[in-house]
Structure 1
Amino acid sequence: MNRPQIRLARRRLCLSLGLGLTAAFVPALAMASTDAWPTKPIRFIVPYAPGGLPDTVARVLSQQLTQRLGKPVVVDNRPGANGVVAAQALMTSPADGYTFLVTDGSMMSINPAIYKNLSYEPKRDFVPVSLAARSPLFLAVNARVPANSLNDFVALAKSRSGALNYGSSGIGSTHHLSMEALKTALTLDIKHVPFRGSGQSVPALIGDQVQVVFAALPSLSGFVKSGQVKILGTNSLQRSALAPKIPAISEVVPGYDFAVTVGLLAAKGTSDAVVKKMADAVSEAVKMPEVISQFHVAGIEPVGGSSADYAKVIADEAARYAQTIKVAHVVAE
């Protein structure tokens, strides 16, 4: 073997050794990186403007998690296009465990059933991390409506078929679909009047423009105290800790469960170890008395749980909404 051949052989040997060392070193680096997580600030993307339900959950959690994880957790509001803007922001971020989407269930379970050409697909693009919270909606009627219980209301609606109106927060909203599911289950004919949020639908209830709405407890409690509204039930599977004397609609319609869910999702490809660490941190944070107190004031119930738990919630919720949307012939605006 001449000198040029020897040099070439040495280069090949060094290259092969280098590649071998790199292959052995990369998993070790990844493991070390996971063990050290987090080493820099974490971003929570919220698909709505400040002040909404997911934003409230994100901001309460960000304070707790900043303390627990030792790194800042910042909230980044990305409203627009029914969550698509926020979804794109997550999908174009590195799947390194430093960017999460904090959203309600509509992005995962309602949008895919209503919009045909979404730029994201929940199972393909996201990894469920943890179900942080639920926010039940309450079925409320104007005080002049002659019904003091859900059974009373059902009987009234049947006797006045087509004569009652209900307000919602818009076509395809949880408020809308909760009522459509109730109508389907009990064969009721109640006319839909869509509004742009509870800020419009609840005043319409007080003014008797509509006779019934679904709304969050904080939007209704003041009017209940003043005698202008009666609450007849909640759309969660079980009675809510926020108002345990109010019956769950599921006590009349078995399996009825349309409470709003809020959880964390990561980009596909995020390390399982990081997903578990964040899920554990969220589950611990929502048990803190100060978090529970802040949540309850905003009409929110803390939950917590694993990635697998949240994945099942999303799948079950998507099936319920898809069925309701199909039966009610709901079409996006």
Structure 2
Amino acid sequence: MSVYRKLTAIAALSLLAGAAMAQTYPSKPVRVVVPTVPGPLDVFARAVMEKVADRLKQPFIIDNKPGAGGNVGAEMVARAQPDGYTLLFAIDTTFTVNPALYKKKMPFDPEKDFATISVPVTYDQLMAVNPGVKANTVAELVALAKQRKLSYATGGNGSPSHLTMASFLSTAGIDMTHIPYKGTGQSVIDVVGGQVDSIFAVSTGVLPQVKGGKLRALAVSGTQRSAMAPEVPTVSESGFPGFSATFAYAVMAPAGTPNEIVQLLNQEIIRALATPDLQEKNRMSDYTAMAMTPQQSAAWLREMRKKWSDVITHTHITLD
């Protein structure tokens, strides 16, 4: 048999093996690593994977493995067997931001070591200020920042709130004093208390304070207004056309996972997101459900990786 025929035969057998595996998959419980402490991502992952488990008749068990901005859990999955029984349910920043922040310390290649299954939802950040700040619009905040030094709170260096504000400040040509916190909760509390002037944070963390009159909402970071606060304009509508800062969740598998399994999981996640109860959960969380293929999801992550790498380089964001 010629070398060409041997290679052809091997490829055909591999395809048949992958198809056979997909037909019997899953035949045992699936481990789903969530690389954060219990919180919004954990809650969302459990809700989605419970639907997938019901459909595929096997448990999908959430395993929280936090550390290093998601790198610890992601590395575990990258090194796992590519058989579909170890998955990763992460914040997209593990793949779009960490490569620029950690650089030589990245324990995996975000592109080569993973097979992208899905980007199930995206979400934006909401800009808000303490009511004592004399600004009712983004334009007024920019004008005020040019008159005196303002401050902004974030959930920590390199967090979505930090990246969004850093990108905005660069776009607006202004500067503010960065006050980083270990998480969003205390950062919002201190803006409410007046210790810090402003913040970009997930809408669910800010809107209750806005509705209670303890914060003033100025703008949404994405390209569309929030369904939870349709009266609040986008930053783009507020005088900075084209500005956008959107984040997401990502479901990944080790590189080499059979494509049939990747496609199956992608379709089951899309199906789960279309159920009425998850649609309502997404509405309450201000998430936008996506119906992207694995290829489209991978392309979205690549685009965001380039975007945030440019922002981090331009604004000199570090983990220190």
Relative to the length of structure 2, the TM-score reads 0.91
Which of structures 1 and 2 has the bigger CA Rg? Answer: 1
8 Å CA contact retained: 1:133, 1:261: yes
Matched residues, percent identical? 31
* Greater CA drift, 204-213 or 30-39: 30-39
How many angstroms does 1:231 deviate by? 0.7
1:297-326, CA deviations, whole angstroms, 9 ceiling, x for partnerless residues? 334332232111111211111111111111
Of 248, 262, 274, which aligns to 2:261? 274
- CA gap of 1:152–1:42, structure 2 versus 1, over 3 A, is same
Residues 68 and 255 of structure 1: is their aligned pair in 2 closer, same or farther, counting only changes over 3 Å?
A: farther
The answer for the alignment partner of 1:235 in structure 2 is: 221
Structure 1 residue 22, shift from structure 2 partner: 9.9
Gaps of 5+ in 2: 1-8
Is 2:129 aligned against 1:141? yes
1:32 to 8, 12, 20: 20
Contact 1:238 1:250 in 2 (8 A): no
Tell me if 1:332 matches 2:319. Answer: yes
Which runs of 5 or more structure 1 residues have no equivalent in the other structure?
Answer: 1-20
Please, which of 253, 256, 260 is the counterpart of residue 243 of structure 2?
256
Matched with 2:279 is: 292
> Is 149-158 or 130-139 further displaced after alignment?
149-158
Structure 2 CA distance for partners of 1:25 and 1:207, relative to 1, 3 Å: closer
Q: CA deviation at 1:181?
A: 0.5
For the Cα contact (< 8 Å) 2:77–2:88, is it kept in 1?
yes
Instruction: Give the structure 2 partner of residue 118 of structure 1.
Output: 106
Partner of 2:5: none
- Rounded to whole Å, the distance in 1 between the matches of 2:289 and 2:12 is 43
The residue aligned with 1:10 is none
Q: In the comparison of the two structures, how many residue pairs are matched?
A: 310
Query: Match for residue 3 of structure 2?
Result: none
Residue 189 of structure 2, aligned match among 158, 182, 203: 203
Give the corresponding residue for 2:4. Answer: none
Aligned to 1:13: none
Indicate the RMSD between aligned Cα atoms, in angstroms: 1.9
Shift of 1:225: 2.1
Of the three residues 175, 179, 192, the one matched with 2:178 is 192
CA contact (8 A) 1:237 1:248 kept: yes
> 1:180 and 2:160 equivalent?
no
Aligned to 1:103: 90
Q: 1:255 to 1:100 in 2, by over 3 A?
A: farther
Runs of 4+ in structure 1 over 6 Å off: 21-26
- The answer as to whether partners of 1:45 and 1:75 remain within 8 angstroms in 2 is yes
- Residues 227 and 286 in structure 2, CA contact (< 8 A), matched pair in contact too: no
